[in-house]
Amino acid sequence: MKKLYVDALKSGAGLSVSQEARWQGEARRENCTAQENCTVGSAREHSELSPYASRSAPGAVKVDRRTALKFGGLSIAFLWTATSGTASAAINARRQPGDAAAALADGNPPFAPNAFIRIDADGQVRLVMPNVEMGQGIYTGASMMLAEELEVGIDQIKIEHAPPNEELYSMPLLGGQITGGSTSTRGHWGVLREAGAVARTVLIAAAAARWRVDPAACSAARGVVTLIGTQGGSGRSLSYGALAKAAGALPMPKQVSLKDPKNFKLIGKPLRRVDSADKVTGATQFGIDVRVPGMKIATVRACPTLGGRVRGINDKRTRAVAGVVDVIVLDHAVAVVGEHFWAAKQGLDALDIEWELGDNAELTTAALRSALSDASLGGKSIVAREVGKKPVDGKLVEATYQLPMLAHATMEPLNTTVWVTAAKCEIWVGTQVPTRCVSEAAKITGLSEDKVVLHNQYLGGGFGRRLETDSVEQAVRFATKVGYPLKVIWTREEDIRHDIVRPMYHDKISAVLGSDGRPVWYGDRVCGGTVLGRWAPMAMEKNGLDDDLVECVAEVPYEIPNLKVEWVRHDMPEGVIVGWWRGVGPTHNLFVVESFMDELAHTAGKDPLEYRRALLSKNPRSLALLNLAAEKIGWGSALPARVARGIALGEPFGSRVCLIVEVEVTAQGEVRLRRAVVALDCGIAINPSSVEAQVQGGVLFGLSAALYSEITLKQGAIEQSNFHDYRSLRINETPSVELYRIDSNETPGGLGEVGTAIAAPALGNAIFAATGVRLRSLPVDRSLLVKDADALREVVV
């Protein structure tokens, strides 16, 4: 992918990558061949003028593989698919003056300098959020980035969901209007501050023109431009509202300057989320809460056997249920429509459906696992990265790790509200991919995309599930069969049985240790299915590699001179569709790599902390985290029997993180989480409160999955169906999670998935330290952790 990435740069096709690299602060100035167009804008170089006007000029920047990888697995894969000018469109995006419909939709604001900012005549500042809010706090973070440079208070803004519009709201790192891969802050760190600065500059220019003074004589704060030295004087300050009309008539500036971080008023402060107030009173509208006049409510059932079809139905009993309105049959699923959900649900339960189970009728998890193992042994691999050769001498250590399929189980079950008429298709849904929903709906209805109107909503969790459009497509298909607005709600059972699951993996990892116990070579043969191959196959066309599969293993924090990382592609049978799951590649690979690092330490007879330390002498940022976490948890202090700590260290999503988990394993094999300590280096923390929340929640989400979660198949159907058999961590099982940050002025790293990605290996290593049992597959198998046969006869109090 390195090659793809650089090729894209050379051809000028990659999202004006020069800027993107600049915002990442990773590209090195000396590598620029077009110096004037690729200034490196890390926070350390805050004061430079932003080449706003020259955005789209192609700057050739060499970015090494390591840099590219830091963008996160999901992201790199898409880098080269970005079309030329996408990022500059996002920056320069103005509402077109001639576009009356867009202006109307915006409420005709007199000042709309770019896609993200609207200032109304009454002074109301409206910020349009390019990413969706699914709990990660991006509405707050994005508002802070905009408001910081716009010079308004976070209390002075209103938030709006962005409409689907690739040109205006594309994520530079992903090349589409997509929220995922922990990219939102990283990808918009430059874009949003610059958008705010542009607006502020124009508003100041408008005030200066009014007063016939030099703009440099004016300053802005809290939505008011003041002539310096005249505070309190009459007529020498003007509100943004008063300036909006004049500002709207001015040209955009050629360049704007961004603040020195030491002057930040908002960024770096632990601000309350902008969406909290409504979420504690139940006022927030999620997709499932949408109410459209004349709307009916449906619930659905697809063939439990994945890929199966509807052969026929008998709806006599269903039609007799009071409140049932319609029964709609598609190829793969049936919907019962009611006046309310309860009628629909009762009606669906009463429906006799005959299924045609199809090719997966006998499929089991064991069969899938065995096929994966066979593929790992004999399949053809693609080499993702190879450095040096495997030494002949030395101690060879080998292990096989296996990861299960996982469901997302967002708290808000999947739902979509659709109203299809001859002229229009209107959709209300919380989705991570609004534009993909629009194109799918257009294909299904035969309407042009401009006739598909999508209203994005707050998401009751995403975790990657809402990167898929399957439930939206299904709802649109059902809605085309009726004349009224239709809200389709999946039951929890449907939500889990038809999750688009995280793939299973079978990885053979090995290392050769030198006489000092240090690894001189490591190899990882990853085997599993690709999500990208379905989701964006064009991103794999060049060499067939899905970079997500090797994220955080092709590059590790440690100094290991030689390596070979390869991937054997093994797709699931047709009908078993796999998808992104929180933490994507890093969640998968960090479990393998960091568990194996512990195995190497054990083989070398070294303490896992000391072993890692010795390999980090050239990586001071990660070494500092390791030391900080160890210090905070008191690494090495005495603990009771079967209580122990495990370390994991990683550099996922452009951040660096070290987690130490302390567990107790009972004599019966039950694992109790006692404490978790996280050391984090995420560069500039936009909102320290959100950073803490994401890390705490992310770690617990990862621990929950490692302890309890696995999707299994029987007769081609997912066996789990609800929270009783797809268990989720609860408050009584939750340990304290302490976060310690190492602050820096590096550009912000990703956060939404960092905690999740690092959780499982720390847990597994702690369990090994407590019991001597190395868990090489997830979830935790308690039967392996029983102290002895007598323990099972003990009464547990």
Partner 1 sequence: MFVLQINGEARAVDGPGDMPLLWVLRDLLGLTGTKFGCGIAQCGACTVHLDGQAVRSCVLPMSAVGNKAITTVEAVGRTESGQKIQQAWLAVDVVQCGYCQSGQIMSAAALLARNANPSDADIDAAMSGNICRCATYVRIRAAIKQAATGNAEVPQTIAPESRASQAPAVRVPQAQMPRGAVS
- Is 370 a residue that touches partner 1 (CB under 8 A)? no
Looking up tokens 């090719």 gives 359
Among 403, 357, 462, 407, smallest CA distance to 778 is for 403
Q: Between the CA of residue 142 and those of 76, 193, 273, 777, what are the distances in Å?
A: 22, 9, 11, 38
Which one of 714, 741, 782, 787 is in contact with partner 1 (CB under 8 A)? 741
**Residue 700 corresponds to which amino acid?**
L
Which CA distances in Å does 264 have to 25, 242, 260, 340? 19, 25, 7, 50
631 lies in the binding site for partner 1 (CB under 8 A):
no
Q: How far is the CB of 509 from partner 1 (least distance, A)?
A: 29
| Amino acid code (one letter) for 239 | S
Q: At closest approach, how far in Å is the CB of 755 from partner 1? A: 9
Q: Which two tokens stand for residue 167?
A: 């040109």
> 372 with 713: CB under 8 angstroms?
no
627 touches partner 1 (CB under 8 A): no
Tell me how far apart the alpha carbons of residues 652 and 641 are, in angstroms, rounded to a whole number.
33
Which residues between 153 and 192 bind partner 1 (CB under 8 A)? 153-156
Binding map of partner 1 across residues 535-574, x = CB under 8 A, - = no contact: ----------------------------------------
Q: Which one among 45, 64, 167, 275 touches partner 1, defined by CB under 8 A?
A: 275
262, 380, 389, 730: which one binds partner 1 (CB under 8 A): 730
439 forms part of the interface with partner 1 (CB under 8 A): no
| 216 burial level (CB within 10 Å; 0-12, 13-18, 19+) | exposed
CB of 155 to partner 1, least distance (A): 3
Binding mask 406-425 for partner 1 (x = CB under 8 A): ---xxxxx------------
Cβ proximity to partner 1: between 413 and 669 the closer is 413
The residue among 490 and 611 lying less far from partner 1, judged by its C-beta, is 490
Q: Is 221 in the site for partner 1 (CB under 8 A)?
A: no
What residues between 475 and 494 interact with partner 1 by CB under 8 A? 489, 491-493
Cβ closest to partner 1, residue 34 vs residue 277 = 277
Told to check if 468 binds partner 1 by CB under 8 A, we report: no
Q: Is 710 in the site for partner 1 (CB under 8 A)?
A: no
- Number of residues in contact with partner 1 under rule CB under 8 A: 83
Task: Give yes or no for residue 390 binding partner 1 (CB under 8 A).
Answer: no
For 672-706, give the DSSP string: EEEEEEEEEE-SS-S-HHHHHHHHHHHHHHHHHHH
Q: How far is CA 224 from CA 153, 221, 265, 495, in A?
A: 11, 6, 15, 49
Residue 362 burial by CB count (10 A; 0-12/13-18/19+): exposed, middle or buried?
A: exposed
Identity of residue 414: L
* Buried b / exposed e along 187-213 (16+ C-beta atoms within 10 A): bbbbbbbbbbbbbbbbbbbbbbebbee
The footprint of partner 1 on residues 92-151 (CB under 8 A) is 133-137
Q: Is 507 in the site for partner 1 (CB under 8 A)?
A: no
Question: Candidates 28-36, 152-160, 470-478, 613-621 — which segment interacts with partner 1 by CB under 8 A?
Answer: 152-160
Give residues 656-685 in contact with partner 1 (rule: CB under 8 A). Answer: 675, 685
Q: What is the DSSP string of 488-505?
A: EE--HHHHHHT--BBPPE
CB nearer partner 1, residue 323 or residue 514: 323
x/- map, 230-269, partner 1, by CB under 8 A: ---------------------------------------x
Q: Which is nearer to partner 1, 274 or 577 (CB)?
A: 274
Q: Is residue 337 involved in binding partner 1 (CB under 8 A)?
A: no
| Cα separation, 147 vs 402, whole angstroms | 46
